[in-house]
């Protein structure tokens, strides 16, 4: 807790004063670079090991239109760059980076502008799920996007939210492409499970629902108990390894990913890059205290 506090304080100070001096030294454990050019060789190296990628250009809670417009242009450039570089990578976005805090219909236009290009390129855009203030709007915009752009877009659902079972049933019926994760934001008891045992049980229940009701669920976790459970469940129910994929975050459990790939499972790593790494980095530190030690050890490596 103390370390989390010290890091939290250091990071907050960074935002104000030495933001440009310390940044990447802290974040490089979880962030593949500050530019596409820095991230691309890491993506290629993972592709060479048969691991697919989803690239996330970091940023969220944008509050002015110029920044949101730039984010859309940068994401369109990213789609073009992935195509030109021949990388096996989709993209993940956050709606608050495309202007959801500014105006929903403006955000919809931005999302559709990005999806137009994704469709032209035969690409795929995953809409990450943010804090519960945005759940309803995110799902509703996703539904509209899905209606127009079909399987060029997908969504994320969080196992800790009480509403998730209902969302899965509704979205599965539409043929949605769903990533399931535990959920990374601090949420009140009224809307979300708090106890890890219950969150794991919900994750298992929802995984079995997704395997039964959707074509190709994306199972996003680093948790061995869940990974082993999914493997066993699929085997027992005669569900092929080609019916789902495991997803993990860049910088975490790469050996486990390689081992899963070697055993014939489909694997995808979520690779964030960019200069706006602070909120993402904070979430990684808050969810697992061991991540602080990873960061410290990385700082002393070149
Ligand atoms: C690809 C991907 C996309 C995501 N997208 C979203 C999103 O859109 N919205 C959202 O809210 N959240 C998202 N998340 C974050 C997610 O909700 C969780 O906060 C995060 O994954 C931590 O939960 P966990 O199940 O991975 O493991 P944790 O709950 O952190 O850990 C559980 C157990 O797993 C094992 N473990 C975990 N990490 C490690 C490690 N590095 N090394 C060794 N053992 C480990 C340990 O035994 C640990 O006790 C995403 C996660 C992934 C992997």
**Which residue, judged by its Cα, is nearest atom 49 of ligand 1?**
223
Look-up of token digits 């202007």? 99
Asked if 53 and 188 sit in the same domain, the reply is yes
* Per-residue confidence (pLDDT) for residue 19, from 0 to 100: 43
**Packing angle between helix 196-213 and helix 224-236, nearest 10 degrees?**
30
Domain match, 229 and 269 both: yes
Q: Mean pLDDT score of the chain, rounded to an integer?
A: 91
CA of 182 to the centre of ligand 1 (A): 7
Q: Which residue, by CA, sits nearest to atom 28 of ligand 1?
A: 223
Pair (141, 270) in one structural domain: yes
pLDDT tens readout for residues 41-81: 999 999 999 999 999 999 999 999 999 999 999 999 999 99
For 181, which DSSP code? E
Centroid of ligand 1 to alpha carbon of 12 (angstroms): 23
Band (14; pLDDT cuts 50, 70, 90): very low
Question: Averaged over 150-166, what is the pLDDT?
Answer: 98
Domain match, 290 and 230 both: no
Q: Is residue 166 over pLDDT 50? A: yes
Q: 262-286, pLDDT tens digit by residue?
A: 999 999 999 999 988 888 888 888 8
Length of the chain: 302
Handedness of CA 60, 54, 226, 8 (dihedral sign): negative
Q: How many domains does the chain have?
A: 2
Q: What does pTM read for this prediction?
A: 0.92
Query: What whole-number percentage of the chain has pLDDT above 90?
Result: 81
50 lies in the same domain as 62 = yes
Q: What domain range is 93 assigned to? A: 35-276
Tell how strand 52-57 and strand 89-93 pair up: parallel
Which CATH number does the domain housing residue 253 bear? 3.20.20.220
Same domain flag for 51 and 118: yes
Determine contact, residues 9/15, Cβ cutoff 8 Å: no
Mean local confidence (pLDDT), 19-26: 58
pLDDT over 80 at 10, yes or no: no
pLDDT at 87 over 80: yes
Say whether both 21 and 44 belong to one domain: no
Of 30, 184, 244, the residue with max ligand 1 atoms within 8 A of its CB, to mutate for a pocket test, comes to 184
Q: Phi and psi dihedrals of 64, rounded to 5?
A: -130, 150
Same domain, 201 and 62: yes
Give the C-alpha distances (Å, rounded to integers) separating 165 from 202, 246, 289: 9, 20, 29
Q: Taking a C-beta distance cutoff of 8 angstroms, is the pair 160, 199 a contact? A: yes
Q: For the residues 248-270, what does the mean pLDDT come to?
A: 96
| Residue 301 confidence (pLDDT) | 56
Q: CA dist 295 to 124, 227, 284, Å?
A: 31, 24, 10
Q: How many CB atoms lie within 10 A of CB 84?
A: 8
The CA distance from 121 to 210, in Å, is 28
41-55, 79-93, 141-155, 288-302: range with lowest mean pLDDT: 288-302
Tens digit of each residue's pLDDT (9 = 90 or more) over 211-243 = 999 999 999 999 999 999 999 999 999 999 999
Instruction: Name the 3-class secondary structure at 100.
Output: coil
Binned at pLDDT 50, 70 and 90, residue 165 comes out as: very high
Q: Do 93 and 188 reside in the same domain of the chain?
A: yes
pLDDT higher for 17 or 256? 256
Is residue 12 predicted with pLDDT exceeding 50?
A: no
- In this structure, are 86 and 228 located in the same domain? yes
Q: How far apart are CA 10 and CA 13, in angstroms?
A: 5
* Domain shared by 55 and 11, yes or no: no
Q: How confident is the model at residue 18 (pLDDT cuts 50, 70, 90)?
A: very low
- pLDDT one-digit tens code per residue, 106-125: 999 999 999 999 999 999 99
> Sorting pLDDT into bands at 50, 70 and 90, what band is 5?
very low
Question: Given this model, what pLDDT does residue 100 score?
Answer: 98
Tell me: do 177 and 271 sit in the same domain.
yes
* Whether residue 270 has its Cβ less than 6 Å from ligand 1: yes
Residue 156 near residue 179 (C-beta atoms within 8 A): yes
Which residues, at least 6 apart from 42, have a Cβ–Cβ distance to it below 8 Å? 32, 33, 250, 271
């Amino acid at each position: 807790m103390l370390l989390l506090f010290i890091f939290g304080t250091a990071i907050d100070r960074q935002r104000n004063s030495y933001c440009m001096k310390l940044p990447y030294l802290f974040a490089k454990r979880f962030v593949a670079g500050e530019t596409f050019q820095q991230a691309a060789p890491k993506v290629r190296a993972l592709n060479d090991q048969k691991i697919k990628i989803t690239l996330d250009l970091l940023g969220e809670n944008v509050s002015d239109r110029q920044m949101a417009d730039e984010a859309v242009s940068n994401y369109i450039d990213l789609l073009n760059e992935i195509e030109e570089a021949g990388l096996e990578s989709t993209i993940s976005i956050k709606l608050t980076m495309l202007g959801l805090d500014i105006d929903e219909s403006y955000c919809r236009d931005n999302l559709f502008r990005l999806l137009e290009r994704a469709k032209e390129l035969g690409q795929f855009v995953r809409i990450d799920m943010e804090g519960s203030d945005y759940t309803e709007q995110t799902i509703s915009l996703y539904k509209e996007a899905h209606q127009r752009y079909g399987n060029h877009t997908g969504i994320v659902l969080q196992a800790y939210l009480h509403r998730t079972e209902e969302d899965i049933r509704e979205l599965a019926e539409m043929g949605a492409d769903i990533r399931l994760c535990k959920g990374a934001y601090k949420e009140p008891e009224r809307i979300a499970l708090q106890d890890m045992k219950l969150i794991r049980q919900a994750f298992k229940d929802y995984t079995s629902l997704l395997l039964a009701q959707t074509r190709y669920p994306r199972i996003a976790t680093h948790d061995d108990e869940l990974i082993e459970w999914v493997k066993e469940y699929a085997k027992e129910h005669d569900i092929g390894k080609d019916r789902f994929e495991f997803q993990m975050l860049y910088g975490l459990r790469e050996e486990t990913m390689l081992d899963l790939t070697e055993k014939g499972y489909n694997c995808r790593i979520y690779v964030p890059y960019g200069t706006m790494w602070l909120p993402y980095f904070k979430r990684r530190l808050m969810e697992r205290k061991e991540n602080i030690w990873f960061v410290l050890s990385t700082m002393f490596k070149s």
